[in-house]
Chain A
Amino acid sequence: MILKSIKTEQTDERTGLVVKRIITSEWENFNRKVAVNNSLFSCEQKRLIHNKPLLDIPFQIHHIGFKRKKQIWNFDGLEISKEHAIKQKRLYLAFQQRSAEQWDNLDFVEAEGDFQNLATRGLPFVPYSIPKDSSLETWKKRKEDALSILNQSQMLVPIFCSKHQRDLFEDIFNYEFENSKLIGVQCYNINDNDNFINLTKIKLRNMRLQTGDEAPLLLGLSYEKSLRGLSNVSGSFAYSCFGFDILSHRQIFLENMPVDVIKKILSTGIEEIMRYDKTLGGFNLSAEQEFWEGINITQAFLENVSVAEGLTPFQAIQWANYHEQQNDFNILNNHILETAYDDKKDSALNYIESQKEKWSVFWKTKMPQLIGV
């Protein structure tokens, strides 16, 4: 699949949110998509066995985990997920999911080695993790070297850490914003100052796009699925507010966990599973549902899931969570598009501020107010 162009369709002045039109050799789509990640891909593999429909999403992102015991990246499953993505006509990206500590220790020797490794695996989009202390000048030289080993059908995808050194980030990010079609950012805690300022710079650059402008696709990667410190608002929504177009939350690799933690995760009861609630725009647990709604919504949902659908109860909830979040994004896109009309300027802002509790609280307490920017 060839990524042909990404154009700005509409920028909403009130919220700074942007709708982009993505055109490939296979399809056209808008942005604000939750990608098929490792866990959703596992669900799809089960669905395939049962001849059930898959997710209608044109993006798949494979998080490559790190085997702590052996100190190597785990490339198992990469080929299978890539082939699956090709069959489903999806734009496919694989990248090394780094912990905050791995980012702290990353230098160009390691980053270049990881890039070379992935470049030889036949990937069309090859990620290059940029060390946190890189300046624009250093990066330009390294990028030139990196591009020299790619073939014509491959594209370099710069991957930033949201904790990139603050005084260096703006130059290097804005350079890539002008020169790349895909940019990834591994996102860490919004409450951390460096992170928040870097994320705000991303938003400020993105919202300067005007209708018809060529634009890069911003990939928000490895953030928390549910922001526990922020009323459990959906991480996908929270990071999309900073301009990310394609979203894929952090994947948990059980093999790195202590045995007792694995046992605890595997024995999670229904009451401990986070369910996305579209009336909230975030996640809640059974106890909260029972308090507010008088019914355990997660339990009620599971009672209606057929075994023939091919998913475990936990996967069925993941599947439903996915659909509801994506539906909310589709509605939000429509509201942003409406802001092109003079009498609908507040459409997206009103939707965020009045329709969903957790979206509203996040927007009003965390997002910089943009009036006059």
Chain B
Amino acid sequence: MVNPIPKWVWKRYALLWKKFKDKPFTFEEAQKELKHVDRNVVSVMFNELKNAGWISVSLGEGDSRKRVYNLSNPTLIIESVKK
């Protein structure tokens, strides 16, 4: 189930998709990419994306304390909304 996300989250999602596509990335890598955005903003943004089904989270290989993120493909998201 995929839900709409706020416009400000969409803008950040678009920038991350441009960089990472469906490849995994970490919180720190995302923050580095989203210049001028602090940890609080990234945390809330990831939470919004997760709750709306636009991102998946898994445990890091070798270090289960780390989280690794994967964005959902926008085409699939649109398809999913159509259904």
Chain A contact residues, CB within 8 Å of chain B = 230-231, 279-280, 284, 287-288, 291-292, 353-358, 360-361, 364-365
Tell me, in angstroms, the Cα distance from A32 to B38 when the chains sit together.
28
Structural contact, B8 and A365, CB atoms closer than 8 A:
no
A231-B38 contact given A360-B44, A361-B44, A365-B43, CB 8 Å threshold: yes
For A364, list chain B residues within 8 Å (CB): 44, 47
Q: Is the CB of B6 within 8 A of A355?
A: yes
Interface string of B1-36 (1 = CB under 8 A from A): 000001110010000000000000000000000011
Q: Which of B23-61 contact A (CB under 8 A)?
A: 35-38, 40-41, 43-44, 47
What are the residues of chain A within 8 A of B40 when measuring CB–CB? 230-231, 361, 365
Bound-state Cα–Cα, A68 to B43, Å: 43
Distance, CA A361 to CA B38, complexed state (A) = 10
Q: B36 touching A356 by the CB < 8 A rule?
A: no
Across the interface, name the chain B residue whose C-beta is closest to A362: B40
CB distance from A234 to the nearest CB of B (A): 15
Closest to A287 in B: B36
- Of A230, A284, A355, A360, which one neighbours B36 at CB under 8 angstroms? A284
Task: Point out the residues of chain B lying under 8 angstroms from A360, CB to CB.
Answer: 6, 8, 44
Known: A364-B44, A364-B47. 6 other contacts (CB 8 A): A230-B40, A279-B7, A291-B36, A354-B6, A360-B8, A361-B40
Q: Residues of B contacting A358 with CB < 8 Å? A: 41
Q: Are the CB atoms of A365 and B36 closer together than 8 Å?
A: no
Q: B: which residues have CB within 8 A of A?
A: 6-8, 11, 35-38, 40-41, 43-44, 47
- Give Cα distance in the complex from A287 to B40, angstroms: 20
Cα distance A287–B11 in the bound complex, in angstroms: 17
Q: Closest residue to B4 on the A side, CB-wise?
A: A354
Q: When A and B form their complex, which 3 residue pairs have the shortest distance between CB atoms, in order from nearest?
A: A357-B8, A354-B6, A288-B36
* A357 and B36 contacting across the interface, CB-CB below 8 Å: no
Q: Is the CB of A291 within 8 A of B35?
A: yes
Residue of B whose beta carbon sits closest to that of A364: B44
CB neighbours (8 Å) of A279 from chain B are 7-8
Q: Is the CB of A365 within 8 A of B44?
A: yes
Q: Known contacts A354-B6, A360-B6: does B11 contact A292 (CB below 8 Å)?
A: yes
Residues on B with C-beta less than 8 A from A288 are 35-36
Q: How far is the CA of A361 from the CA of B48 in the complex (A)?
A: 11
B residues within 8 A CB of A361? 40-41, 44
B8 neighbours in A (Cβ, 8 Å): 279-280, 356-357, 360
Complex Cα–Cα for A284 and B41 (A): 14
Q: Could you tell me the distance between the alpha carbons of A220 and B82 in the complex, rounded to whole angstroms?
A: 47
- Please name all residues of chain B whose beta carbon is closer than 8 Å to the beta carbon of A291 when the two chains form the complex: 35-36
Q: How far is the CB of A348 from chain B (nearest CB, A)?
A: 15
Residue of A231, A287, A355 near B41 (CB, 8 A) is: A231
14 contacts between A and B (CB under 8 A): A231-B38, A231-B41, A279-B7, A279-B8, A288-B35, A291-B36, A292-B36, A355-B7, A357-B41, A360-B6, A361-B40, A361-B44, A364-B44, A365-B43
A residues within 8 A CB of B6?
A: 353-355, 357, 360
